[in-house]
Amino acid sequence: MQSPNPIAHDAYTFVRTSGGIAEYRLDSNGLQVLLLPVAAAPVVAFMVTYRVGSRNERAGLTGATHLLEHLMFKGTERYNKDRGTSIFPTLQRVGALLNATTWLDRTNYYELLPSEHLELAVEIEADRMRNARIRDEDLDSERTVVLNELDRGENDPMRKLVHAVSAAAFFAHPYGHPTIGWRSDVERVTAEGLRHFYDTFYWPDNATASVIGDFDAEEALDLLARHFGAIPSAPDHFEFPVTDEPPQIGERRVTVRQAGQLGSVLMAFKGPAGLTHEADALDVLAVVLGGGKSSRLYRHLTDRGITTGTYAWMPRLRDPGLFYVFANLAPDVEHASAEEAIWEVIDGVIADGVTETELTRARRQLLADEAYGRDGAFAIASQLNEAIAVGDWTLYTEYLSRLEAVTPDAIREAARRTFNRDRLTVGHYLPVLPEATAAEAA
Amino acid sequence: MPRTMTELPPLAERVHVLESGDAQVLALPTPIDRVVSFEGSFSTVPDFAAGEETIQHLAVRLLDKGTTRRDRFALAEALEDRGAELSFTADGLRCRFSGRCLRDDLPDVLQIAAEQLRAPLFDDAEFEKERARHAAALRRALDDTGSQARAALARRMYAPAHPNYRADPADELVFLQGLTVDDVRAFHANHFGARNLQVVLVGDLDPHAAGDAVRRSLGDWMVATRRGSFETAATPLTPGREDVPMPDKQNLDVRIGLPLALRRDHADYLPLYVGTYVLGGNFSARLMTRVRDEQGLTYGIGARLGGIAVEHDAYFVTSVTLSRENLDRGIEATLAEISRFAEGGITDEELDEKQTTLKGIFRVGLATTGGLAQALLTNAERGFDVAYLDRFPERIEALRVESINDAVSRHIDPLRLHLAVAGTLHAPLR
């Protein structure tokens, strides 16, 4: 995509362009601003990404990022229910689709709305960046909402399995606890605790504002300067040390038992950080292993009736994360058999690497995915959000050229380094038939 | 106010309608680079009472397991070598295909789709594997509170011959074991064809070249010979509650609903749709505001019209998810809101707000090639012309609170509500 010409604007310093996106820094407070005009439909996406996620939580405060995200919708002094200006109704009234999400490295708030209402979204996001009402009474009602969300997750054995495997894989690093938090922390956290969290992380110089879609770039810069410009930068420099995970030497195993019908296996290998080139090779490898019905896992497991579904995936994170291989077992298949079959696939890659045909196919799939990912402002915002979270938004714009550089040798080397039994955590979901659960309960 | 840079003419002026017998092709060029989304469907009409919906499901799932020309892996490679996405689904009266591909691959991808639709292999071994996979999916559905509550509510409202009926997964498992590959072959031979075939293509395309590509791949597809039968109206049980006890499910899914004597082309449809949106259509709707925001009883709650078609009646449903300790209070609060809605209707202020919301959402929903293709296909399946989509915002704007409240009071009777609850209803006795 052609890069736009930089706009000279008194309030900003132009930083760079890449892949059609222009980056500016708001001089008054350090807010990073990304602009991507796409004139395909008369809608625009506005998104504020804070570089804070469950990675920044300490013991006793797990789930704080997510609970705070919920409370951010309870409003500010200007936008609140008492004044009839609650955030959701105010934005939904003009047809906005809006929400927020929290994950390991980031929290994002977004609005997708008719272009002529962009200012409303900018104004509200700027207001709640520093003026959120984080009150005891709001926390009381929202806590039970989040506990219900937590219960919904606990219904799902797969989610429990992911939590158990993550907790076993990470002893020290906060990627070990679930983003929604441990129940006792969610039950006990106070408004004061959340306020402290908010005052630590919600500042313009810890955030990126992205505008994508149908808008005029100069007008957008004016709008952002008008609404965000007066917010001060953070009182302290952002230095939030996160514990390094000690090297894992030795396989770890966990088991989740819960009522259900069919078992699952989750294998999680320690992987590299998201900005490394090794992660590029592993992205391609994940497609070769689990991308579609021609993939190795599908052919070797699902097509042979060992599993009903498999996938391979390595989320690209700021710190070293996990490469997952997941399998839903077919009826009457033992966990050990599925695990053995997965190892046969992995050992094949370690021994012989991947073929040129597989590499070409995987690249083509990723190339098409990138094109599909530009279909609509929201799709672009979602991907850009993850790149911001990893630490460099150009990971999104340079993704294809990075993949082009991946060679069969790089994949084989990445496979050898990653698929190491000493760096593996295995989780089994063992379904307990409902009759057995009932008998035990009685 | 920021300027809108993109001024789009009405869809009716931009969509190319290319007719071919019983089939219709709609092609819409949009400014996106390289990407084309496509959606298609055709009428199959299984015999619901005879369980043909399960056979239809298996037939659709077997379409990518080999054709008379190439095996399942050659098919997968042909698509994945192009980075193309193609999937087939069955949705009651119709079967659908949908996907995305890069512009230059469109003719090839349509050819592959046509090959799968018209000449599937239906190999014995693949049938056995697919039956095992479907059995596993049904067993997993037994563990899902949402699926169980949804199906339990449907069974209270409909007989098996109605397209909105949902079989108990345990019963469907038994039925599945009695099927053979010949049942699937016969269903395909009799029900698959170009009856009311609709194909929509949206994105970086030349409309006439895209139309030619559809004609080359599907133009001589014969119309299916057989149509099954189905009931068009509900046959509800006496209003009441059904519990589906499930162990280890501390979050319970609750569905509260009633069948409607209403189809998509009924004059009451739009008023009731907007009224229901005020009740539970989005985060600022009444149910979310009262039951979640003020009382903190649930993470998720909403109301909608479901099972919508021009061929048969629809239903009204409210969904709420509740932790066990809040189950009774949550149901009570939800029922109170539904009763208030049924008895008092909505206000002018609420209508004004939701009219703006719905018009905005409509515009936002048409901002991707996939969203456009889906909207155009659904519209065409209902027999509406493209201009209906252009008129939709005006029709929403023209609604008055009186007509909405009349429709609500005519169709939503709290005394006719059914409840279905799935999950762990009581604390374990330890």
Contact between A216 and B366 using a beta-carbon 8 Å cutoff: no
CA distance B229 to chain A (A): 33
- Nearest Cα residue to A290 out of A346, A369, A333, A251: A346
pLDDT per position as a tens digit, A21-40: 999 999 999 999 999 998 87
Query: Which of A67, A71, A92 should one mutate to test binding to chain B, selecting the residue with the greatest count of B CBs within 10 A?
Result: A92
Residues counted in chain B: 430
Q: Which residue of B has its CA nearest to A330?
A: B136
Q: Which residues of B touch A95 (CB under 8 A)?
A: 356-364
Query: Under 8 Å CB-to-CB from B212, ≥6 apart: which residues?
Result: none
Reported as a pLDDT band with limits 50, 70 and 90, residue B430 is: very low
Put simply, the chain B residues between 356 and 395 with a CB less than 8 A from any chain A CB are 356-364, 366-371
What are the structure tokens assigned to B351, written together?
């209508």
Q: Does B322 touch chain A (CB under 8 A)?
A: yes
- In this predicted model, which residue has the larger pLDDT, B279 or A235? B279
- Nearest Cα residue to A174 out of A276, A61, A326: A61
| The pLDDT of residue A441 | 42
| The pLDDT of residue A236 | 75
| The pLDDT of residue A435 | 64
Asked if the model's pLDDT at residue A440 lies above 50, the reply is no
| The pLDDT of residue A438 | 52
Q: Which residue of A has its CA nearest to B3?
A: A116
Spell out the alpha helix ranges (H) of B19-177: 52-61, 72-80, 106-118, 124-141, 145-157, 169-177
Q: Which residues of B touch A180 (CB under 8 A)?
A: none
Mean pLDDT, rounded, for B150-157: 97
Contact between B364 and A308 using a beta-carbon 8 Å cutoff: no
The per-residue b/e assignment along B396-419, b for 16 or more CB within 10 angstroms, e otherwise, is beebebebbbbbbeebbebebbbb
Asked if the model's pLDDT at residue B11 lies above 90, the reply is yes
Choose the closest CB to B364 out of A95, A293, A375: A95
**Alpha-carbon distance A353 to A350, whole Å?**
6
| The pLDDT of residue B391 | 95
| The pLDDT of residue A397 | 95
Mean pLDDT, rounded, for B297-306: 96
What are the structure tokens assigned to A201, written together?
């992380």
DSSP string, A328-360: EEPTT--HHHHHHHHHHHHHHHHHH---HHHHH
Q: Find out whether A129 and A207 touch, Cβ atoms under 8 Å.
A: yes
pLDDT per position as a tens digit, B45-92: 999 999 999 999 999 999 999 999 999 999 999 999 999 999 999 989
Per the prediction, chain A carries an average pLDDT of 93
Per the prediction, chain B carries an average pLDDT of 94
Contact between B129 and A146 using a beta-carbon 8 Å cutoff: no
Contact between B370 and A375 using a beta-carbon 8 Å cutoff: yes
Contact between A94 and B357 using a beta-carbon 8 Å cutoff: yes
Reported as a pLDDT band with limits 50, 70 and 90, residue A434 is: low
| The pLDDT of residue B4 | 61
> Which amino acid does the sequence have at A197?
F
- In this predicted model, which residue has the larger pLDDT, B219 or A107? A107
Asked if the model's pLDDT at residue B101 lies above 50, the reply is yes
Reported as a pLDDT band with limits 50, 70 and 90, residue B188 is: very high
Cα A438 to its chain centre, rounded Å, is 37
Contact between B143 and A118 using a beta-carbon 8 Å cutoff: no
Burial class (CB in 10 A: 0-12, 13-18, 19+), B9: exposed
pLDDT per position as a tens digit, B304-351: 999 999 999 999 999 999 999 999 999 999 999 999 999 999 999 999
Q: Which residue of A has its CA nearest to B327?
A: A148
pLDDT per position as a tens digit, B225-270: 888 999 999 999 999 999 999 999 989 999 999 999 999 999 999 9
DSSP string, B4-39: P------HHHH-EEEEETTEEEEEEE-S-SSEEEEE
Collapse the DSSP code of A36 into the 3-class scheme (helix H, G, I; strand E, B; otherwise coil) and give the result.
strand
- Nearest Cα residue to B187 out of B48, B76, B73: B48
pLDDT per position as a tens digit, A122-155: 999 999 999 999 999 999 889 999 999 998 888 8
Asked if the model's pLDDT at residue A364 lies above 60, the reply is yes
Query: Under 8 Å CB-to-CB from A192, ≥6 apart: which residues?
Result: none
Put simply, the chain B residues between 78 and 107 with a CB less than 8 A from any chain A CB are 79-85, 100-102
CA distance A157 to chain B (A): 10
pLDDT per position as a tens digit, A379-418: 999 999 999 999 999 999 999 999 999 999 999 999 999 9
Contact between B2 and A113 using a beta-carbon 8 Å cutoff: no
Kindly report the number of other CB atoms within 10 A of residue B268's CB atom.
19
Q: Which residue of A has its CA nearest to B245?
A: A434
Contact between A42 and B129 using a beta-carbon 8 Å cutoff: no
